[in-house]
């Protein structure tokens, strides 16, 4: 490691964050002024939630993998172990970071608290995002990381204003656009026209948030809505096999109806799957962004969203569960979204370049 260069450590642990960070990783590796140390927390450790995304996005192997989730630990056990594990790793390996970068709102970002207490400088990409729904573990995580961060990279002005309202120093906040744009555009440019795996148009069902799968009434309403959509449109439904959601359906004795359960897939195949969707029913945050770039409608069965811009720009529709009027409205909207959805709120597709320029300046 070149001692004359700045040292930037990235800490990442889950599927969507590997995708979002992929071009930032690449830019850090190629920058002549810095050493990049990539730490994989191992929060997601299954191949279909982890290494396959390194392969699809051509991300180099992590320098260290902490395997924090591999032993079935609860979220609070992971959080308790992760900070000390990173600090011990940095000390044992003689890594002296000038800044440690986190992205998003997974459990991994809470390692920023003990690291900041140890005197390390913290950067948070995807800062300022708020749903104001305290049922979301992610809402707690993102707030905590924002308030211990020295540098906050926000996707757009709305997130900047939210951070300012919480008393965060404006000199720490930088608007850079959305990191998901670059990797998605790159995958789209590489895809051929072979859609044989998903040659039949379908409705895609993607449910994995605890506020949905832990609540029998909500989960049952979502499954019933999906089946209602299939009956109304004549389109088949495929549902991603998130284990805890499928187990909850079994425990609650919720019948799948006409829904076909399909395995999780790598990013390249998932982009194809989204492209072939008539529309998507999803409680994922990322699903309110990626499909917008593909012109695919997304119906969101949640009470609140941390991405209101997606709704305001007609890229997604907030569904009211057990409300037939909302059901009907969602289908009418889905037919118009590809012609009316606006994507300027996602940025200009040069976020990694902007982040690198700001990092070089602040370091």
pLDDT digits (tens, 9 = 90+) for 164-197: 999 999 999 999 999 999 999 999 988 865 554 5
Average pLDDT over residues 198-225: 92
Q: Are residues 21 and 167 in the same domain?
A: yes
- DSSP element (H, E) containing 115: helix 112-117
pLDDT of residue 168: 98
The mean pLDDT of 263-272, rounded to a whole number, is 91
Residues 243, 317: one domain? yes
Q: Do 123 and 221 sit in the same domain of this protein?
A: no
Q: Are residues 166 and 203 in the same domain?
A: no
**Confidence tier at 63 by pLDDT (50, 70, 90):** very high
Residue 94 has pLDDT above 60, yes or no: yes
Per-residue pLDDT, averaged over 234-262, amounts to 97
Q: Is residue 187 part of a domain?
A: no
Between 73 and 19, whose confidence is greater?
19
pLDDT of residue 39: 96
Residue 73: pLDDT over 70:
no
CB burial of 223-258 (b: ≥16 within 10 Å; e: otherwise) equals: bbbbbebbeebeeebbbbebeebbebbeeeebebee
Cβ atoms of 86 and 66 within 8 Å: the answer is yes
pLDDT at 48: 45
Q: Is 1 within the bounds of a domain?
A: no
| Residue 58 within any structural domain of the chain | yes
Residue 240 shares a structural domain with residue 331: yes
- Would 308 be classed as within a structural domain? yes
CA distance linking residue 67 with residue 60, whole number of Å: 17
**Which helix H or strand E contains 335, and what residues bound it?**
helix 324-340
In this predicted structure, what is the pLDDT of residue 76? Answer: 74
Are 335 and 201 contained in the same domain? yes
Distances in whole angstroms, Cα of residue 157 to Cα of each of 42, 144, 162, 180, 348: 32, 20, 9, 17, 14
Query: Residue 110 domain-assigned?
Result: yes
Residues 321 and 357 in one domain: no
Same domain? 199 vs 336: yes
Whether 276 and 134 map to the same domain: the answer is no
Together in a domain, 23 and 109: yes
CA neighbor of 317 nearest in space, from 336, 306, 330: 330
Number of domains forming the structure of the chain: 2
In terms of domains, do 166 and 94 share one?
Answer: yes
For 26, the domain range is 6-178+347-362
pLDDT at 340: 83
What pLDDT is attached to residue 49?
A: 46
Residue 186 falls within a domain, yes or no?
Answer: no
Does the active-site annotation cover 71?
Answer: no
Q: How far apart are CA 339 and CA 323, in angstroms?
A: 26
Selecting among 75, 147, 156, 208, the annotated active-site residue is 208
Task: Give the mean pLDDT of 11-38.
Answer: 94
Alpha-carbon span 178 to 292, nearest angstrom: 12
* Alpha carbon of residue 308 to chain centroid: 15
Grade residue 55 by pLDDT with cuts at 50, 70 and 90: confident
**CATH code of the domain containing 28:** 3.40.50.2000
Same domain, 138 and 221: no
Task: Return the pLDDT at 56.
Answer: 81
């Amino acid at each position: 490691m070149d001692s004359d260069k700045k040292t930037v450590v990235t800490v990442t642990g889950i599927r969507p964050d590997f995708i979002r960070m992929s071009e930032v990783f690449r830019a850090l590796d190629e920058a002549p002024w810095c050493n990049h140390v990539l730490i994989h927390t191992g929060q997601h450790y299954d191949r279909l939630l982890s290494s396959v995304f390194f392969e699809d996005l051509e991300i180099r192997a992590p320098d260290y993998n902490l395997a924090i989730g591999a032993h079935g630990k609860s979220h609070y056990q992971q959080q308790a172990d992760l900070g000390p594990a990173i600090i011990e790793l940095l000390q044992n390996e003689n890594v002296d970071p000038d800044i440690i970068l986190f992205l998003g709102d997974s459990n991994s970002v809470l390692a920023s608290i003990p690291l900041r207490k140890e005197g390390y400088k913290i950067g948070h990409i995807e800062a300022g995002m708020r749903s104001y729904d305290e049922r979301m573990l992610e809402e707690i995580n993102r707030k905590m990381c924002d308030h211990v961060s020295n540098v906050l990279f926000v996707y757009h002005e709305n997130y900047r204003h939210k951070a300012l309202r919480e008393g965060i120093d404006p000199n720490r906040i930088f608007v850079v656009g959305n990191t998901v744009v670059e990797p998605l555009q790159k995958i789209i440019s590489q895809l051929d026209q072979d859609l044989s795996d998903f040659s039949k148009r379908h409705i895609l069902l993607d449910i994995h948030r605890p506020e949905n799968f832990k609540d029998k009434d909500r989960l049952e309403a979502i499954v019933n809505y999906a089946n209602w959509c299939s009956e109304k449109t004549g389109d088949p439904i495929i549902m991603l096999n998130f284990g805890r959601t499928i187990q909850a359906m079994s425990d609650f004795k919720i019948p799948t109806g006409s829904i076909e359960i399909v395995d999780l897939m790598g990013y390249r195949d998932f982009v194809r799957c989204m492209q072939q969707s008539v529309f998507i029913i999803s409680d994922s945050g990322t699903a309110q962004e990626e499909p917008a770039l593909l012109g695919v409608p997304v119906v969101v069965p949640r009470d609140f969203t941390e991405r209101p811009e997606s709704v305001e720009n007609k890229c997604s529709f907030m569904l009211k569960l057990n409300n037939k009027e909302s059901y009907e409205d969602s289908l009418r909207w889905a037919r118009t979204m590809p012609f009316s959805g606006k994507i300027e709120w996602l940025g200009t597709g040069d976020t990694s370049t902007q982040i690198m320029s700001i990092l070089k300046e602040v370091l």
